[in-house]
Amino acid sequence: MRIDVSADSFDILQGYSRVLLQQGRPILDRDWNEQTSIVLHQLRALTRAIYGQHGGPAGGECGFVPILGVGSTIRLRKGWYSIDGLLLSCGDDWDYMEHKYFKPAEMASEKTYLLYLEAVEREVTAAEQETLLDPALPGVDVAARGQISWRVNHADWLTDPKDPASINAPASCRHAIEQANAWLEFKREKQVAPTVELPVELQTMLQDLAKKGSNQLLRAEYHSEGIWKLSTDNAFALFAIDSPEERLVMNNITIRLGVLDSWIPKAGNFVELLTEENVRFNEAGELLEITDIVTPDRNSLESVDRQTITLSGDLSVDNQFRFARVWNSREDVDHEDGVMPGDYWQFASRDSAPDFVGAKLRRPTRVYAPLALIRTGADGKPLPDIERFQRIVVPRWREIDDVDFVDS
């Protein structure tokens, strides 16, 4: 969760059915958020009970069905599909290779690929969606929005999903289904955050950061290869990069502060540069140190909400970075087995005392569903014999006139 919340308090093990407000008591953001999470959990559990781990409706409404289009291209059919209780909508029939936010790799000749659907639940703020700002409330950030982002990708077909070297085409349809189910179960296991303790080194560093302010939100997030990034003062908020295509100096970026002008980064902080794909799918970006800050001209309407930042390294001419997150520090700390990029600890600090008690490592929601096996010919184009894995669910029903009635 990359937004300014007092706590992420929903816990499925508590078994709560709703939040009850009491008269004369303060209402916090955590109350609203937990009520929403409780209802969503119940709705998604019901959806899973109907459609299983993944499935779609009958009657031609099942979406994301791979079909062979003109010129041997793979197209995905319009409709909707459920993965682990999340509802995904494919608005129009579209070419698989023409995803708006994601470019799949080209398929090689005479190979077998698994086509799969990936979905991520994330938070959207005004840095991405300016319509979330109300013109009647200038300078005030408002509630964020939850969003499900999805993309379709392909991977080499594996006999054993835990062994990347075990590439082998299935011997039969039943064999293919069993392998797809094993692949899906392996993916599901990977989405559960491991139970690991917050490293003592990170606790010490976060305590030092907490001393700089009384009430704040702290975050420690794993970046890559033993690198952790730490933040306070909501420094993990998302900033939009201003006119990236017009950049002249390759180690400079200008961010739009918007309503976040009280959280201006400082020299010595770190900037994580992110593409639109990185943001939509909760992926790590490029982490660079801030070496200098140019104070904006408060007398110019064009630059009053802009902040120019000099970075420790140059960016490529064709970079696609569109957003930035700011971190107080980057720390090299050995991680426990099973920790993945994006895993994080987040908790409130009140009166300079971080609440480490009961802190749990969290992992952003990411779910998968196998769609089909795609085989390619000598020219690298998909062959017509697509083996699909979509599950189409039809609720059982009968017309009332089909029922035999007996007079009592």
Q: Taking 70 as the threshold, does the pLDDT of residue 255 lie above it? A: yes
Q: Taking 60 as the threshold, does the pLDDT of residue 356 lie above it? A: yes
Residue 18 neighbours by CB distance under 10 Å: 9
Q: Taking 50 as the threshold, does the pLDDT of residue 142 lie above it? A: yes
The pLDDT value recorded for residue 117 is 93
Residue 204 shares a structural domain with residue 350: yes
Average pLDDT over residues 71-84: 90
Per-residue confidence at 84, pLDDT binned at 50, 70, 90?
very high
Residue 92 shares a structural domain with residue 106: yes
Residue 208 shares a structural domain with residue 321: yes
Residue 208 shares a structural domain with residue 334: yes
**Does the residue 98 lie in any domain?**
yes
- Which residues partner with 8 through β-bridges? none
Residue 124 shares a structural domain with residue 239: no
The pLDDT value recorded for residue 154 is 92
User: What number of CA atoms fall less than 13 Å from residue 394's CA on the CB side?
Assistant: 6
The pLDDT value recorded for residue 152 is 93
**Total domains in the fold of the chain:** 3
Query: Taking all residues of the chain, what is their mean pLDDT, rounded to a whole number?
Result: 82
Residue 316 shares a structural domain with residue 282: yes
The pLDDT value recorded for residue 313 is 84
Q: Taking 60 as the threshold, does the pLDDT of residue 57 lie above it? A: yes
**pLDDT > 90 fraction of the chain, expressed in percent and rounded:** 19
CA 26 to chain centre: 31
Which tens digits make up the pLDDT trace of 286-314? 999 999 888 766 666 566 678 888 888 88
Average pLDDT over residues 379-388: 88
Q: Taking 70 as the threshold, does the pLDDT of residue 178 lie above it? A: yes
SS (H, E, C) 216-263: EEEEEEEEECCEEEEECCCCCCEEEECCHHHCCCCCEEEEECHHHHHH
Residue 325 shares a structural domain with residue 209: yes
Per-residue confidence at 172, pLDDT binned at 50, 70, 90?
low
Average pLDDT over residues 365-380: 90
Residue 66 shares a structural domain with residue 112: yes
The pLDDT value recorded for residue 401 is 54
Average pLDDT over residues 393-408: 56
Per-residue confidence at 405, pLDDT binned at 50, 70, 90?
very low
Minimum mean pLDDT among 1-10, 127-136, 385-394: which range? 1-10
Q: Supply the range of the domain harboring residue 172.
A: 54-129+143-191+365-393
By CB neighbour count within 10 A (0-12 exposed, 13-18 middle, 19+ buried), where does 221 fall? buried
Which tens digits make up the pLDDT trace of 183-202? 888 888 888 888 888 888 88
**Does the residue 303 lie in any domain?**
yes
Minimum mean pLDDT among 27-31, 309-313, 367-371, 392-396: which range? 392-396
Q: Taking 60 as the threshold, does the pLDDT of residue 1 lie above it? A: no
- Which residues partner with 362 through β-bridges? 344
Cα–Cα distance measured from residue 128 to residue 276, given in angstroms and rounded to the nearest whole number:
9
Q: Taking 90 as the threshold, does the pLDDT of residue 94 lie above it? A: no
Residue 207 shares a structural domain with residue 342: yes
**Does the residue 385 lie in any domain?**
yes
The pLDDT value recorded for residue 408 is 41
Per-residue confidence at 9, pLDDT binned at 50, 70, 90?
confident
**pLDDT > 70 fraction of the chain, expressed in percent and rounded:** 83
Phi/psi for 288 (5° steps) reads -130, 145
Residue 209 shares a structural domain with residue 322: yes
Q: What is the DSSP letter of 48?
A: H
Q: Taking 70 as the threshold, does the pLDDT of residue 165 lie above it? A: no
Higher pLDDT, 294 or 121: 121
